[in-house]
Amino acid sequence: MKKTTKKSAPKNKSTQPAVLRVVSPITTEETPLENLPVRPRDNRLPALGSIITKTYRGKTIEVKVLENGFEYEGKVFKSISRAAMTIVKRPISGYVFFGLTK
């Protein structure tokens, strides 16, 4: 039976230190409407003032399209995806969730 030995790492190689990236946490706090920046509109979105409705788990969801975001249950979200993620409580595309894809 052949004996196997463990090879150790060469001692002359220096190891790179780990890089730590600090990423700010996603907040779900309300943002005042006047503080939201105006972005170019995506052509998949309905007109301003429209209400997007969807039935999800037996509950009717209504999201109002605003100039600077989307309103759901009195809270304003920067993106349709952020509103969808709040509804389903997991990452999801708002366009896919609301059926706005073409």
pLDDT digits (tens, 9 = 90+) for 5-29: 666 655 555 555 555 555 555 555 5
Instruction: Tell me the pLDDT tens digit for each residue of 38-88.
Output: 667 778 888 888 899 999 999 999 999 998 889 999 999 999 999 999 999
* Spans of all domains in the chain: 33-97
Report the distance separating Cα 49 and Cα 5, nearest Å. 72
pLDDT of 63 reads: 92
Which positions ≥6 away from 94 have C-beta within 8 Å? 70, 79, 80, 81, 82, 83, 84, 85, 100
Q: How far apart are CA 99 and CA 92, in angstroms?
A: 12
> What's residue 41's pLDDT?
73
pLDDT at position 44 is 84
Q: pTM above 0.95? A: no
Tell me what percent of the residues of the chain surpass a pLDDT of 70.
Answer: 61
